[in-house]
Amino acid sequence: MHEGSITVRLPVDLREIERLNRIVRQFGDLHEIPSRTLYAVNLALDEVVTNIVRHGFDDPAGQLLEAHILAEKGELTTVVTDPGRRFDPMDVPPPDLTAPLAERSLGGLGVHLVRNLMDRVEYRRENEKNVLTLHKRIR
């Protein structure tokens, strides 16, 4: 693994997820990050960006999000910042995965997936922006 970082600014649009995914893969190839680590980070980012687009704004047109990716000290850290409405995924209770499908409440599975894919997830609200930090050890 080689240390390094990149910052990407993208329109808040579902069509941008594939571009972000491609950038993360290219970053990972350049820094020799194992594919299983990149897969987990990309899947988590897919969920995070989807939630920002679908729930963060009444109208996301013209809004931007930022993803800062850092490979350092055996860890891939991704900080996603968006100016959408406040949403702390740490406040979302875990879904009841034992309940029959028809009885489960809507929502929460994406947040659950992100929590389980990452080694650590942190949230803060700073300067009227959501700042979500995802940590994944490079193995």
Tens-digit pLDDT profile for residues 26-83: 999 999 999 999 999 999 999 999 999 999 999 999 999 999 999 999 999 999 999 9
Q: pLDDT digits over 1-20, tens only?
A: 899 999 999 999 999 999 99
pLDDT in tens, 103-121: 656 565 778 899 999 999 9
Residues 23 and 39: their CA atoms lie apart, in Å, by 12
Confidence (pLDDT) at 1: 83
SS (H, E, C) 55-84: HCCCCCCCCEEEEEEEEECCEEEEEEEECC
pLDDT of residue 105: 62
pTM comes to: 0.90
pLDDT beyond 90 at 139: no
